[in-house]
């Protein structure tokens, strides 16, 4: 008998229906207070310019296979570990077959490397919040309590594959293999971020 917890938090891929026809639709999930013109902007907070208000764990108010591509930039890490499969499953549900999901996440491996080399400036945490290197690391990793699940490339790949995505690849800042070059338009925080793309 294994001492590891059961895989009950891992969601099975959502069954697919026929692709929805229509013009190019692009989704920004977790836009916060920065909704982007020309995108379907979704966030749990009610902010001017947000098209879809609500918690992704309750489902997005979009039909199956209705989005050509989606991005989530510095949003997924704010969910609990057990909710990551739910969120990724919902994003996969709304992305058309062959569509792309692009994630931008704080890179745990970069943070560990900065800690190991003693680079306190990497963490962008002012001294009045944390003075010594280890305190800056912890404050950065939980980002003042908003980050619930740290990510590195291995964890992102595995979570995406379990949600039914395929061809999961790490990408550089503003680099894509997608036929939709504008998928990188919302990339930010290059110095601290990990970017990953996956196909639905």
**Distances in Å between the alpha carbon of 155 and those of 58, 65, 151, 192?**
23, 25, 6, 16
76, with CB counted inside 10 A (0-12, 13-18, 19+), is buried
Write out the residue range of the structural domain in which residue 33 sits.
1-107+151-200
| Residue length of the chain | 200
Q: Are residues 70 and 32 in the same domain?
A: yes
Q: Are residues 4 and 56 in the same domain?
A: yes
Residue 121 main-chain phi, psi, to 5 deg: -65, -25
pLDDT, residue 85, reads: 98
Q: Are residues 102 and 137 in the same domain?
A: no
pLDDT, residue 23, reads: 80
CATH code of the domain containing 200: 3.40.50.150
Q: Are residues 156 and 89 in the same domain?
A: yes
Q: Are residues 96 and 119 in the same domain?
A: no
Q: Are residues 133 and 90 in the same domain?
A: no
Residue 99 near residue 200, CB atoms below 8 Å = yes
94, with CB counted inside 10 A (0-12, 13-18, 19+), is buried
Q: Are residues 8 and 82 in the same domain?
A: yes
All residue ranges of the chain with pLDDT < 50 are 1-21
Task: For helices 153-162 and 84-94, give the axis angle rounded to 10 degrees.
Answer: 60
Ramachandran region, residue 68 (left: φ > 0; alpha: ψ -120 to 50; beta: rest): alpha
Q: Are residues 25 and 50 in the same domain?
A: yes
Q: Are residues 82 and 158 in the same domain?
A: yes
Count: domains in the chain: 2
> In this structure, what DSSP letter does residue 104 have?
E
Q: Are residues 88 and 133 in the same domain?
A: no
Q: Are residues 140 and 163 in the same domain?
A: no
Alpha helices in 17-132 (DSSP H): 84-94, 108-116
pLDDT, residue 161, reads: 98
Q: Are residues 138 and 171 in the same domain?
A: no
Residue 111 near residue 152, CB atoms below 8 Å = no
């Amino acid at each position: 008998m294994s001492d590891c917890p059961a895989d009950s938090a891992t969601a099975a891929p959502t069954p697919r229906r026929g692709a929805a026809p229509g013009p190019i639709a692009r989704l920004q999930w977790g836009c916060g207070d920065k909704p982007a013109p020309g995108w379907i902007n979704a966030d749990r907070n009610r902010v001017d310019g947000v098209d879809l208000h609500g918690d992704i764990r309750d489902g997005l108010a979009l039909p199956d296979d209705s989005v050509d591509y989606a991005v989530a930039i510095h949003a997924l890490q704010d969910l609990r570990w057990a909710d990551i499969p739910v969120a990724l499953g919902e994003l996969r549900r709304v992305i058309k077959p062959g569509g792309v999901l692009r994630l931008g996440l704080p890179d745990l491996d970069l943070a560990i490397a900065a800690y190991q080399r003693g680079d306190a400036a990497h963490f962008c945490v002012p001294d009045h919040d944390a003075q010594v290197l280890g305190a800056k690391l912890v404050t950065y990793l939980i980002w003042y309590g908003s980050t619930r699940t740290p990510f590195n490339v291995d964890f992102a790949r595995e979570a995406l594959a379990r949600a039914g995505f395929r061809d999961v690849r790490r990408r550089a800042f503003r680099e894509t293999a997608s036929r939709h070059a504008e998928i990188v338009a919302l990339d930010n925080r290059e110095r601290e971020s990990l970017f990953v793309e996956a196909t639905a």
